[in-house]
Amino acid sequence: MLIIGIAGGTGSGKTTVVNRILNEIPADEVCVISQDSYYSETKHLSYEERTKINFDHPKAIDFDLLVEHLNSLRNGETIEQPVYSFITHNRTKDTLITHPSKVIIVEGILIFNSKALRDLFDIKIFVHADTDERLIRRLRRDIEERGRDLNEVLSRYQNTLKPMHLQFIEPTKNYADIIIPNHRHNNVAIDIVKTVITNKL
C-alpha cells in the first residue's frame, strides 16, 4: 500500500492535482480521503457557535481519528469515513464505507501539521499557488457550492484564513518531498509524481 499526502493552501489546486493522479491509476486501486471529512464533531454546539469555529486551525481537525483510520486501512480493514456538511458546519449522520486500496491519497490544507499523520505518508506533495489565485478560487467555491455570501467569505479570509495560512500551512511546505507550482498544465511535475508512484508500487 502507498499512502500519498497532498497539502497546500485553500484554493491552491490540490483537487486538480489529485484528479490528474487519479487519471493515471486504475479506479479500483486508489481511494481518496479528504481532511475536510475529519473536522471534529461539534453536535454539542449551537449553529451560531459552530459558525465561529476557526476551521483553518489544526485544532479543528480530528487527527486522532484520521490516523486511526489510515492505520486500519493499512492493516487491511474497511473504515467508515465521516461525512461533513459545510452548510451546517457539522458531521452528518451518514458515513462513507472505504475499503483498503493499493494507493490511498489524503488531501487537505492542514495534513502536514500532525507528525503522526506525516509519518504515515510515503510521499508528501505540496501544491503552491499565488495568494490572489487562491482567494479567487475560494470566493467562487464558497459562494457557489457552500451558500456563503461575499462579505462572509472575505471576512473569514481576512480574519482567519490568511493568518492561519501563514502560520500553519505555508511552513509545512518544508515537509514536502515534491512541491508543485500550480499552473494549469504542469505536466512535468505530474509526470514526476506518476513515475515516483509507479516505482513505489
The predicted structure's pLDDT at residue 11: 72
The model carries a pTM of 0.84
Q: How far apart (Å, rounded) are the C-alpha atoms in residues 178 and 198?
A: 15
Torsion of CA 138, 139, 140, 143, to 10 degrees: 120
The predicted structure's pLDDT at residue 12: 74
The predicted structure's pLDDT at residue 69: 97
**Average pLDDT per block of 10 residues along the chain, 201 residues long:** 91 82 85 93 83 86 96 96 86 91 94 97 88 68 71 73 86 93 70 80 72
The predicted structure's pLDDT at residue 62: 95
The domain locations on the chain are: 2-200
The predicted structure's pLDDT at residue 173: 93
Q: Where are the alpha helices (DSSP H) in 92-145?
A: 115-118, 131-144
Residues 2-200: name the CATH superfamily: P-loop containing nucleotide triphosphate hydrolases (3.40.50.300)
The predicted structure's pLDDT at residue 72: 97
Class of residue 56 by CB neighbours under 10 A (exposed 0-12, middle 13-18, buried 19+)? buried
The predicted structure's pLDDT at residue 188: 78
The predicted structure's pLDDT at residue 184: 58
The predicted structure's pLDDT at residue 41: 86
Residue pair 127/5 in contact by the 8 Å Cβ criterion: no
The predicted structure's pLDDT at residue 147: 66
